[in-house]
């Protein structure tokens, strides 16, 4: 990984903002990811994210924290937060912005336990592909303190396969439709492609059941997106 994402965040943080990140996927053309969005404050966050922050309790792990926008908001409210990300640049920026506990770390390498685990801005993306969902969910469950919870958002991207006549062009022999190849470039340089998973709520809920997690739909967004709350099956949703 060249960490172009991290480089872009560092440029913005250091006052060298000249251009945005360009992304595309195996099923969509170039799109702009505006750098200021990755530095959003509470009022500019989607409703789903605002709700997720309101539901936080106890010690919090912010997984794939990026610039630390959610962690900073939680710290302001007095929460103890640990922010992790695989991007060195992102963690540098999160630190510079004031996130007190940060680490360059992949989710599967985390071992501490928490009352709340947050995965936001398509949190299921980190699972990469459907075949890895159970492994990631089991690991997340193992990081929960008693009465702990996981808050995760994603989207049902079936709409991206819809043609103008309302039909679908999806190849039913292909793998799960939410599994995408994700391409990113910044300042003309291309990042190594990654796999990025969008998971519809029903599939997430089924996967949760196989690993002993209860999955509740908290809120639906305006564009097929949703926020889910996951707790150990033996616990009760309060």
Ligand X SMILES: C[S@@+](CC[C@H](N)C(=O)[O-])C[C@H]1O[C@@H](n2cnc3c(N)ncnc32)[C@H](O)[C@@H]1O
Interacting residue ranges for ligand X, rule: CB under 6 A = 5, 38, 63-66, 69, 84-87, 90, 106-107, 120-121, 126
For ligand X, give the closer residue by CB, 33 or 235.
33
CB of 194 to ligand X, least distance (A): 8
CB of 216 to ligand X, least distance (A): 21
232: β partners: 213
In terms of CB distance, is 110 or 200 closer to ligand X? 110
Q: In terms of CB distance, is 224 or 235 closer to ligand X?
A: 224
> Among all residues, whose Cβ is closest to ligand X?
64
CB of 127 to ligand X, least distance (A): 9
Q: To which residue do tokens 């913005």 refer?
A: 12
Residue 72 corresponds to which tokens in the numbers above? 């900073």
Kindly tell me which of 87 and 155 has the beta carbon lying closer to ligand X. 87
3: left (phi over 0), alpha (psi -120 to 50) or beta: left
Comparing CB distances to ligand X, the nearer of 59 and 67 is 67
Closest to ligand X by CB, 176 vs 182, is: 182
What letter does residue 191 receive in the DSSP assignment? P
Name all contacts of 166-169 with Cβ < 8 Å and 24+ positions apart: none
Structure tokens at 1: 């990984």
Q: How far is the CB of 68 from ligand X (least distance, A)?
A: 8
Handedness of CA 228, 158, 138, 207 (dihedral sign): positive
Asked if residues 228 and 218 have their Cβ atoms less than 8 Å apart, the reply is yes
- d(C-alpha 32, C-alpha 24), whole Å: 9
Find the shortest distance in angstroms from Cβ 74 to ligand X. 12
Instruction: Sort strands 189-190 and 213-220 into parallel, antiparallel or unpaired.
Output: unpaired
Q: How far apart are CA 53 and CA 129, in angstroms?
A: 26
Q: How far is the CB of 227 from ligand X (least distance, A)?
A: 13
Q: Which is nearer to ligand X, 126 or 137 (CB)?
A: 126
Task: Give bridge partners of residue 194 from the DSSP assignment.
Answer: 182
User: Shortest distance, CB of residue 222 to ligand X, whole angstroms?
Assistant: 17
Q: Is residue 85 exposed (0-12), middle (13-18) or buried (19+ Cβ within 10 Å)?
A: buried
């Amino acid at each position: 990984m060249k960490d172009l994402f991290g480089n872009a965040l560092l440029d913005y943080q250091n006052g060298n903002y000249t251009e945005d990140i360009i992304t595309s996927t195996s099923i969509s053309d170039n799109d702009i990811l505006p750098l200021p969005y990755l530095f959003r404050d509470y009022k500019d966050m989607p409703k789903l994210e605002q709700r997720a922050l309101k539901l936080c309790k106890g010690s919090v792990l912010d997984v794939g924290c990026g610039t630390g926008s959610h962690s900073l908001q939680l710290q302001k409210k007095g929460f103890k937060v640990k922010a992790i990300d695989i991007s060195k640049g992102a963690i540098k920026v999160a630190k510079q912005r004031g996130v007190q506990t940060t680490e360059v770390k992949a989710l599967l390498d985390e071992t501490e336990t928490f009352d709340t685990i947050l995965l936001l801005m398509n949190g299921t993306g980190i699972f990469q592909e459907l075949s890895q969902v159970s492994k990631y969910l089991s690991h997340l469950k193992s990081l929960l303190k008693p009465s702990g919870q996981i808050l995760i958002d994603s989207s049902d991207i079936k709409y991206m396969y819809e043609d103008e006549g309302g039909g679908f062009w999806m190849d039913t022999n292909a793998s799960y439709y939410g599994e995408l190849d994700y391409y990113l470039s910044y300042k003309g340089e291309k990042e190594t492609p990654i796999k990025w998973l969008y998971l519809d709520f029903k599939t997430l809920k089924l996967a949760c059941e196989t690993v002993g997690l209860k999955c509740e739909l908290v809120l639906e967004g305006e564009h097929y997106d949703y926020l889910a709350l996951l707790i150990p099956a033996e616990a009760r949703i309060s």
